[in-house]
Amino acid sequence: MRKIDFTILIPAIFLVVMGTSQIISYTSGRMLLAHFAALGGGFAGMFIFSLTKYKVFIRFRAITLYVLGILLLLAVLSFGRTVRGSCSWLNIGIVVFQPSELVKFTTIIFLTYYFSRNYIDRGSPRTVFFTVLFGALPLALVLKQPDVGTAMVFLFIIFVFLYFSQNINFLMFLVISGGIVLIEIIYFCLYPAGTWSLYLAGAAFFAVLYLLMRFLLRIKKAHVLVLSLGSLFVLSLLFSWKVTSMLKPYQKNRILNFIKPSRDTLNSGYHLSQSLITIGSGKLTGKGYRMGSQARLGFLPGKYTDFIFASIAEEFGFLGVLLILISYFVLYLRIIKISMLAIDQQGTFLTLAIFAILFFQTVLNIGMTLGIMPITGLPLPFVSYGGTALVVYLSMLGIVMNVGATAEGW
């Protein structure tokens, strides 16, 4: 029991209880049994991983788990089950699970293994290239499903390990390039026929930039620099246009509704408008357990999955939501502290990557219910209904506990 970190366990149990209270309220039969089975599997995974030496586990299981994860994603594309337009589920008899959630865990473990083995050359082009490659492979397979929300998590995993590489110049290039691509995707969603106008605007900009660099700043070989930047801009436009053309209509509507929430409140923007109404109706203390009219009468979609935060806000009010946020704060602060106490780089990388994934999904989920983030379909960690995700996230906390216990010498 000394290996059980109660600063992690208690907030996690509170979050699970809050989520389970809503799931009991809105589900029954096989769905409810599946949730409790996932709870049992998740806490079992937590205790097993808390007792398993993470250094031995990473050393001998990282490659196997990564390969197994890739094979599962390939199996989903061939034999997967389609739910809400995304072929993300695999049915093996009595068990239906989402491999992409498992692969988040296996990818973190493998990248920790690879990065710790190449830490001396962490900023070299070779290490950076293979880090991106190993992260991009599951990312591409998840996009093929298509599951854009989960793909964003894999993109964030890549960014986290590139941050560990301390290659600041490359990171700045990625951040700036990513920002430009994001703006271009939004532009193409807003103006599908505006491709040529963007090309002309870009040409005018680089022409003015060349004149300023050549005649005002007196920079030699200004044309080489401008042509290089212009080529990158054209490539980014082609990439953004291709990505936008691959987006389904509902995905484009999510982007447009994020930019203008009042755009279509009765159709494509219905989820967000009802989420905001539901959260606001809870006020300070909420309407009471099982007294939430917005969720209970069917106005709020995803009341126990993607929008469970809004459902909780309606029934327990601001005070209930505040307790949830405090629980996340205590939990994530403890994970960060353990990463600082870890006895080796593997422990630090592993715990920080786990923190990054959980924190990223928490911010995205709560943000989308409040309208400050686009709707992605990502679950709220430890709270939303979803068996595979619950098992994986609780198992991740077991790994964190093991790193902490190792650091404290148990």
Cis peptide before 146 (omega within 30 of 0): yes
Could you tell me whether strands 95-97 and 81-83 are parallel, antiparallel, or unpaired per DSSP bridges?
Answer: unpaired
Q: How far apart are CA 410 and CA 407, in angstroms?
A: 8
CB 347 within 8 A of CB 406: yes
Amino acid 170 reads F
- The four Cα atoms 361, 328, 297, 148 give a dihedral, to 10 degrees, of 0
Tokens of 299: 């106005």
Output the CA–CA distances (angstroms, integers) from residue 176 to 44, 180, 237, 254, 373, in the order listed: 43, 6, 14, 23, 20
> For position 396, what pLDDT does the model report?
93
pLDDT < 70: residue spans in the chain: 1-3, 83-85, 193-199, 202, 205-206, 208-226, 228, 261-264, 409-410
Rg (CA), the chain: 23
User: How many Cα atoms within 13 Å fall on the side-chain side of residue 334?
Assistant: 21
pLDDT (0 to 100) of residue 234: 75
The CA distance from 207 to 204, in Å, is 5
CA-CA-CA-CA dihedral for 262, 358, 138, 53, to nearest 10: -170
At residue 324, the pLDDT reads 95
Rounded to whole angstroms, the Cα distance separating 323 from 190 reads: 39
What is the pLDDT at residue 90? Answer: 81
What's the pLDDT score for residue 190?
Answer: 77
Instruction: Output the DSSP codes for 178-217.
Output: HHHHHHHHHHHHH-TT-HHHHHHHHHHHHHHHHHIIIIIS
| Residues forming beta bridges with residue 96, ordered by sequence position | 91
- Eight-class DSSP state of 379: P
* Residue 97 confidence (pLDDT): 83
Q: Where are the domains of the chain?
A: 6-407
pLDDT at 152: 86
pLDDT of residue 44: 92
User: Per DSSP, what are the bridge partners of residue 90?
Assistant: 97
| Burial (0-12, 13-18, 19+ Cβ within 10 Å), 196 | exposed
Determine the pLDDT at residue 238. 78
Question: How far is C-alpha 22 from the geometric centre of its chain's CA atoms?
Answer: 23
